[in-house]
A and B are shown apart, each in its own frame.
Chain A
Amino acid sequence: MADETFEEAIADLESGRSKAGEQEVPAGDQADAGSHPTVAALRAEFGDAVLHHAVMAGDERVVRVSRDRAVAILRWLKDDPAQEYDFLADVTAVDWGGGRPLDLVYQLWSIPHRRALRVKVSVPLDDPVADTVSGLWKTANWLEREVWDMFGIRFRGHPDLRRILMPEGYAEGHPLRKDFPLRGRFSRAEQTRRILATPVAETYSEQELAVAEEVRSHHRGSAGSEASE
Chain B
Amino acid sequence: MSTKTVEYLVTRSPELNAEGVPVHAEFPLGVEPELHAEHMLINIGPQHPATHGVLRLVLELDGETVISCTPHIGYLHSSFEKLGEYRTWNQIIPLTDRMDYLAPLIYNCAYAMAVEKLMGIEVTERCRIVRVICMELDRIFSHLLWLGTTAIDIGAFTVFLWTFQERERIYSLHEALTGARITTSATRIGGMMADLPVGWIEALRNFVETLPRTIDETETLLTNNQIWIGRNRDVGVIGPEEAINCGLSGPNLRASGVEYDIRRDRPYYDYETYDFDVVVGEHGDCYDRYLVRIEEMRQSLRILDQAIERVPEGPINVADPRVILPGKTDAMTDMESMIHHFKVVMEGVKAEPGESWFSVESSKGELGMYVVSDGGSKPVRWRVRGPSFINLSALPHMVVGRLLSDVIAVNASLDIVLGEIDR
- Measured CB to CB, the residues of A under 8 A from B are 14-18, 20-22, 56-58, 60, 62, 86-90, 92, 94-97, 105, 107, 109, 111, 114, 116, 118, 137-139, 141-143, 146, 150, 163-167, 175-176, 180, 182
Nearest CB of chain B from residue A96's CB, rounded to whole Å? 6
B290 to chain A: which residues have CB within 8 Å? none
A60–B359 CB distance below 8 A:
no
Residue B354 at the A interface, CB < 8 A? yes
Residue B168 at the A interface, CB < 8 A? no
Q: Which one, B120, B246, B260, contacts A58 given CB within 8 A?
A: B120
| Chain B 350-382 interface residues, beta-carbon cutoff 8 Å to A | 352-357, 359, 366, 368, 370, 372-375, 380-381
**21 chain-A/chain-B pairs, Cβ below 8 angstroms:** A14-B355, A16-B373, A20-B352, A21-B352, A22-B354, A56-B354, A88-B247, A89-B366, A92-B381, A92-B383, A95-B381, A96-B374, A107-B385, A138-B246, A138-B393, A138-B394, A139-B393, A142-B390, A142-B393, A180-B82, A182-B86
B368–A89 CB distance below 8 A:
yes
B374 to chain A: which residues have CB within 8 Å? 16, 96
Distance of A97 Cα from B374 Cα, bound (Å): 11
Asked if A165 meets B247 with Cβ closer than 8 Å, knowing A57-B354, A57-B355, A89-B366, the reply is no
Nearest CB of chain A from residue B251's CB, rounded to whole Å? 16
Distance of A147 Cα from B374 Cα, bound (Å): 21
B245 to chain A: which residues have CB within 8 Å? 86, 137-139
Q: What are the 3 closest A-B residue pairs judged by CB atoms, nearest first?
A: A16-B353, A139-B247, A57-B356
A97 to chain B: which residues have CB within 8 Å? 380
A142–B389 CB distance below 8 A:
yes
Asked if A60 meets B356 with Cβ closer than 8 Å, knowing A142-B389, A164-B73, the reply is yes
Distance of A163 Cα from B373 Cα, bound (Å): 27
Residue B81 at the A interface, CB < 8 A? yes
Asked if A89 meets B260 with Cβ closer than 8 Å, knowing A165-B77, A166-B77, A176-B81, the reply is no
Distance of A63 Cα from B147 Cα, bound (Å): 42
Q: Which one, A56, A89, A138, A164, contacts B355 given CB within 8 A?
A: A56
A87–B247 CB distance below 8 A:
yes
A56–B247 CB distance below 8 A:
no
Residue B341 at the A interface, CB < 8 A? no
Q: Which one, B74, B77, B247, B397, contacts A137 given CB within 8 A?
A: B247
B81 to chain A: which residues have CB within 8 Å? 150, 176
Residue B423 at the A interface, CB < 8 A? yes
- Measured CB to CB, the residues of B under 8 A from A are 73-74, 77, 79, 81-83, 86, 117-118, 120, 242, 244-247, 258, 260, 265-266, 352-357, 359, 366, 368, 370, 372-375, 380-381, 383, 385, 389-390, 393-394, 397, 422-423
A18's nearest neighbour on chain B, judged by CB, is: B353
A94 to chain B: which residues have CB within 8 Å? 372, 380-381
Nearest CB of chain A from residue B101's CB, rounded to whole Å? 18
Distance of A192 Cα from B372 Cα, bound (Å): 35
Asked if A114 meets B266 with Cβ closer than 8 Å, knowing A15-B353, A57-B117, A165-B423, the reply is yes
B376's nearest neighbour on chain A, judged by CB, is: A16
Nearest CB of chain A from residue B271's CB, rounded to whole Å? 14
Asked if A182 meets B83 with Cβ closer than 8 Å, knowing A87-B244, A94-B381, the reply is yes
Most central of A16, A94, A180 by chain B CB within 10 Å? A16
B390–A107 CB distance below 8 A:
no
B265 to chain A: which residues have CB within 8 Å? 111, 114
Distance of A141 Cα from B81 Cα, bound (Å): 20
Distance of A62 Cα from B389 Cα, bound (Å): 25
Nearest CB of chain A from residue B41's CB, rounded to whole Å? 8
Task: Give me 7 other A-B pairs in contact (C-beta within 8 A), A89-B359, A89-B385, A94-B380 excluded.
Answer: A16-B354, A16-B373, A18-B352, A20-B352, A107-B370, A143-B390, A165-B423
A88's nearest neighbour on chain B, judged by CB, is: B247
B76's nearest neighbour on chain A, judged by CB, is: A165
B246 to chain A: which residues have CB within 8 Å? 138-139
A57–B118 CB distance below 8 A:
yes
Q: Which one, A14, A90, A182, contacts B383 given CB within 8 A?
A: A90
